Amino acid sequence: RERTYQHLLVAREMNRAEAFAKRHAVTPVKWKVSGNDDIAGRPAVLKLRNDGLLTAETVDFEALTGVVVSVSPYCSFSKAAMRYIETDRELLELLEDRVLWLADQRLTAELPSILEWNDESELDMHLVWKDSAWPEEIDFGATPFFYLVRNGEIVETLKGWENDGNAELLKKKIKAMLE
């Protein structure tokens, strides 16, 4: 039962998942769409709050200038990147208010791991609402993967994170993107 419920959540069949949970005594996930957002077919994220509420919010990708990072709570390289970035003041300032740490929609079943990540980090991870609504160049299954976006166009990428060696390159690429 729990597995079927999780599959419905991953497929974003939220109404069916809620009905299934009621019929089969499964504890449902609380969620809502933020404001008047119409998330159908648009890039959107599920933000996780500590009280367990998931809030779906659209992302105006066409107007975005920032960094989209594909991460996973199970990827040691994603964790290493997050830990390093939290300690690098310059990198934190470059990313401030212009970074989205996003996990693949298939990881919806892993909400406890994502909440644990968010409890341990200043840099909150969110879930992608629907992978297919994002530009096809973004692969949320590859982690960590940094997509530098200027005015809705991916202008640079950086794949992986090894021994914090990518930090200086990431800084250089972000500075160039912001010029």
Q: Please tell me whether the peptide bond between 135 and the residue prior to it is cis, using omega within 30 degrees of 0.
A: no
With bands split at pLDDT 50, 70 and 90, how would you rate the model's confidence at 72? very high
Could you report the per-residue pLDDT of 109-133, keeping only the tens digit for each?
888 888 888 888 889 999 999 999 9
Q: What is the mean pLDDT of residues 67-82?
A: 94
**pLDDT of the residue at 49:** 76
Residue 152 in 3-state DSSP?
A: coil
What is the share, in percent, of the chain residues with pLDDT greater than 70? 97
Whether residue 147 contacts residue 69, with contact meaning beta carbons closer than 8 Å, is answered with yes
Q: What is the pTM of this model?
A: 0.89
pLDDT at 31 over 80: no
